[in-house]
Amino acid sequence: MSGIGPVLSRELTYLFAAKKFNKAKEAAAYCGLIPRHNESGKLKGRTSISKLGPARIRCKLYMAAIVAGQWNKTIKRHKLTLINNGKTPMQAVCANMRKLIHICFGVIKNQEAFKLQES
């Protein structure tokens, strides 16, 4: 799959084998890719990722999301949809990082290759 190379696939395989996640949401939360609301005083409605968990995996996922946003049709379509709906490019990249975790979790759990969605 475009965006996931040998380094990231090895990291995620180790992570999923060591932590025994039941759902892809749990893996995304462990990696710190869940949204967190930042509200304080007059600052309302801002969100960012939680950044909990290992930063080394997030760093590798960031580069994978950048590459997948250019070459993987599913991820590229997801990124363009988010940007057209008013999200910033960085928010779209973070959402793609989360989507990559979900895809990789499904591939490892089901032991099947990723199939591109045609539409």
pLDDT in tens, the chain (119 residues): 678 889 998 999 899 989 999 999 999 999 999 888 777 777 677 777 888 889 999 999 999 999 999 998 889 999 999 999 999 899 999 999 999 999 999 998 888 888 776 65
Rounded CA-CA distance 17/108 in Å is 9
Task: Tell me, yes or no, whether 116 lies in a domain.
Answer: no
Q: Rounded to two decimals, what is the model's pTM? A: 0.85
Residue 95 lies in domain: 6-110
Q: Is residue 13 part of a domain?
A: yes
- Classify residue 27: in a domain, yes or no: yes
DSSP 8-state symbol, 22: S
pLDDT of residue 24: 93
Is residue 118 a part of any domain in this protein? no
Residue 58 lies in a domain: yes
Contact by Cβ (8 Å): 90, 66: no
In a domain, 16, yes or no: yes
Residue 103 lies in a domain: yes
Q: 91 in a domain, yes or no? A: yes
Q: Name residue 35's amino acid.
A: P
Distance, in Å, from the CA atom of 75 to the CA atom of 96, rounded to the nearest integer, reads: 6
Task: Domain count for the chain, please give it.
Answer: 1
